[in-house]
Structure 1
């Protein structure tokens, strides 16, 4: 008598479902949404940065600052060979390479994001980095040595632009999220976790 041939083992998991009960297609779709959201934020920053720099170059005279609120807030056209807020002047090619590394790192890291606030923060940093990177690549005196256009002067603060503001705001947001315990993958630790637990208890 021949023995019955054993069939495939049914492990109780539907076909195509991976860890966490989520299909591969669902994970791919979610990663795509995260990446496009990140790039959307960055694109808005880049567009605004390019528009304001173009207007600044076209209408501002480096020798004649435009007063907005007396001497406290002025529009002052400056060509910056350094990093944000005129730091590290003279190291333009090094800063260009650093910016490229930051951009690549953020894009590669993006498919691990699950938090909308982290997407916003990293999108701001990415857009700001790419905005100033475009200046370093395409503006004079030459590729990888281009000077960044800065035009906003507030009090004693160094002259800056939209890209600088986006990088700073994004970085501050990410630091605050980390300190409060809102993690990039959507999980919560520290204060955020305690607050969530207290909310569940009250409910």
Structure 2
């Protein structure tokens, strides 16, 4: 499931970026819902909200590490919710990583294509949305006590507590 979700997110991200680069001229946004939601081509050298713009190479290395970590964790997953969350993060990370490697100005320094502009929020792309949604899902799943191995943290505590109660 993790690989399927990551592949779908990556494909959708790549297709939308290719379309936006082809159809949206820089500095000439296309209105979708008035001026609240627009398609606006922006090439982002930094991280989210254009932070760390001078550290593109470092962001690339961090993204590679995230991809490796997700793949390693993914091999041991037994939870559907964790697979979905990590699949969203992996697909998004790969989408932006492809930009970092293959877009100008060059490898490890490529600028990410951002294009969705909603109100006052910074411009973002499908990969960014996927990473954020996946991270939120992982936080919620963790708070609800679901473990990556498919067990529920509260059920482990309940078993331990019932065992202690039986010994008394």
Q: Does 1:38 align with 2:38?
A: no
Aligned to 1:151: 115
1:181–1:193 Cα contact (<8 Å) kept: no
How many Å separate the matches in 2 of 1:44 and 1:176? 22
2:35 counterpart (34, 51, 71) = 71
Which structure 2 residues correspond to residues 51-200 of structure 1 after superposition, within 5 A? 51-190=15-154
Which structure 2 residues correspond to residues 22-33 of structure 1 after superposition, within 5 A? none
Please tell me the root mean square deviation across aligned C-alpha atoms, in Å. Answer: 1.6
Instruction: Give CA deviations for 1:118-141 in whole Å, capped at 9, x if unaligned.
Output: 000000000000000000000000
In 2 relative to 1, CA 78–193 (structure 1 residues): closer, same or farther, beyond 3 Å?
A: farther
Q: Secondary structure at the match of 2:75?
A: helix
Tell me by how many angstroms 1:183 deviates. 1.3
**More RCO (CA 8 Å, sep 6+):** 2
Give the TM-score normalised by structure 1: 0.75
Q: Mark the structure with the bigger radius of gyration.
A: 1
Number of residue pairs the alignment of both structures matches: 158
In 2 relative to 1, CA 149–191 (structure 1 residues): closer, same or farther, beyond 3 Å?
A: farther
Stretches of structure 2 lacking an aligned partner (at least 5 in a row): 159-168
Tell me by how many angstroms 1:84 deviates. 2.7
How many Å separate the matches in 1 of 2:54 and 2:43? 12
1:180–1:192 Cα contact (<8 Å) kept: no
Q: Secondary structure at the match of 1:160?
A: coil
Tell me by how many angstroms 1:86 deviates. 2.0
Stretches of structure 1 lacking an aligned partner (at least 5 in a row): 1-36, 195-203
Runs of 4+ in structure 1 over 4 Å off: 191-194
Once the two structures are overlaid, the 10-residue window that deviates more, 185-194 or 98-107, is 185-194
Instruction: Give CA deviations for 1:19-42 in whole Å, capped at 9, x if unaligned.
Output: xxxxxxxxxxxxxxxxxx222111
Tell me by how many angstroms 1:148 deviates. 0.3
